[in-house]
Amino acid sequence: MNPRGKRLAILGLRWAVGLVVLVESVQFTFSASAAHFFAQTGLPQWIRPALGGSEIIAALLFLVPAASLIGSYLLLFIFAIAILLHFLHGEYDVGALIVYGAAVAVCMTHGDKQAKEEPHD
């Protein structure tokens, strides 16, 4: 694939993951049904807005080119915490978090600078 195609593919992946994570984080943080479901976990109620709010900020940073690396690291950290919380509560359906993390890692390692620096085939 040519460098332009790679840049467009990574850009598309960044926006797809960033927007999906942003929308899901907003729903998790502000939805009444999410609050009701979260109350059943037995965790303190402050964890939901703290985790969701930090994920919203990280997703926004991930989408801003100048801050995407910081946002990427924050998202990976938040996903790891979310996976740990799920595991501690006996919930092992974390496939989406793993896929999101892998997509963030791809975007981190194949950003615009890397695509521009690659030699032409």
pLDDT tens for 16-73 read 999 999 999 999 999 999 999 888 888 898 999 999 999 999 999 999 999 999 999 9
Question: pLDDT grade, residue 119 (50/70/90)?
Answer: low
**Those residues with Cβ within 8 angstroms of residue 27's Cβ, 6 or more apart along the chain or in another chain:** 34
Give residue limits of the domains in the chain: 3-117
Q: Is the pLDDT of residue 109 over 50?
A: yes
Q: Which residues contact 104 (CB under 8 A, 6 or more apart)?
A: 17, 62, 72, 75, 76, 79
More confident residue, 115 or 107: 107
pTM: 0.87
Is a pLDDT exceeding 50 seen at residue 115?
no
